[in-house]
Amino acid sequence: MWSTRCRRTSPRTRTWHGSHARCAPRRGRDDMPVLVITGTGTEVGKTVTTAAVAAAALAAGRSVAVLKAAQTGVRPDERGDADEVARLAGAVTTAEVARYPEPLAPGTAARRAGMAPVHPHEVAERAAKLAAEHDLVLVEGAGGLLVRFDAAGGTLADTAELLGAPLLVVASAGLGTLNTTELTARELRRRELELAGVVIGSWPGSPDLATRCNVADLPEVAQAPLLGAIPSGAGGLSPAGFRTAARGWLAPRLDGTWDAAAFRTREAS
C-alpha cells in the first residue's frame, strides 16, 4: 500500500490496496478505482497484461470493468481487445468508447473512416460511470501513451489526468525498451501523473543478454517498480489455465504473488 497526491495541484490523495486505487476526495467526490493501462508502443502485451490484472483482481473478490478507449483494426462484427480480456480473465464488464476498421492510430483511423473521433473526456466519463458500479476499472489505451485520439491531439494521458488516475506501463522485454520506457515515464512525470509501475508484457522463455539486463534497468529508468512479467505466449493458454496462473505473474500491488527480487535473481543472473 502507498499513498500519493493524485496531482500536485489536486486536493485529493490516493491510497492503493493491491490493485485498488482510491482517490479520496476532500470535497465529497466518490472514490474512483480506475487504473489506466498504456504501453511503450504497439504489440507490447497491453491486452494480455490487462487480462492478467483483471484475472488477479477477480480472484481477490473484486468486481472488474474493462474499458477500451479506442479499438482499431476490428470490424463491427469482430471481437475486440476487451472481448479478449473477458475470454481470458472471466466475468468482467466490457465496454468500448469507439471502434474503427483500419489498424491505425485512433485519430487517423477515425479520419480515414469518416467517423467521429474519440475524445479524452468521453473516455474519462465512461470510466467514471463504470467506476460507480465496480471495484476496479481498467482503461486500456491504443498503442503508446501519446497516440492521438483526435485532431486536437488528445491522448490517453489526458484521460488519466481528467480521472486523476494512476497509470500502469506495459513494456517490451528486449533491446530498445529502456529508451521507450524512460520516454514514457518522463512524460508522465512532466504531466504530474502517477506511474504505478511497469509490467513486462512478454517475457521470453530464453532471454538474451539485453533482456536479462533490462530486469534491473527498467525500474531505474522508469523510477517506478517492476510489478510483473507476463510469460510469452500467455494469451494462448486456456482461460482456466490463464486465470490460475495470472496471480503468479503480478506483484502483490496488483493482487498477485510475483516476487520482483526472486525474478531478478532467477532470470537476470
Average pLDDT over residues 6-11: 36
Q: Which of 68, 99, 148, 243 is catalytic?
A: 68
CATH class of 33-267: alpha beta
Per-residue pLDDT of 81-97, as tens digits, reads 999 999 999 999 999 99
**Helix (H) / strand (E) containing 199:** strand 195-203
Burial 95-125 (b: 16+ CB within 10 A, else e): bbbbbbbeebbbbebbeeeeeebbbbebbbe
Mean pLDDT is lowest, of 9-13, 108-112, 156-160, 243-247, for 9-13
Q: Which residues pair with residue 198 across a beta bridge? A: 169, 226
Residues in the chain: 269
Per-residue pLDDT of 244-264, as tens digits, reads 999 999 999 999 999 999 999
The distance in angstroms from the start CA to the end CA of the chain is: 29
pLDDT band at 32 (very low <50, low <70, confident <90, very high): low
| pLDDT value of position 76 | 86
Q: What is the pTM of this model?
A: 0.86
Active site residue 46: no
pLDDT above 60: residue 25: no
**Helix (H) / strand (E) containing 35:** strand 34-39
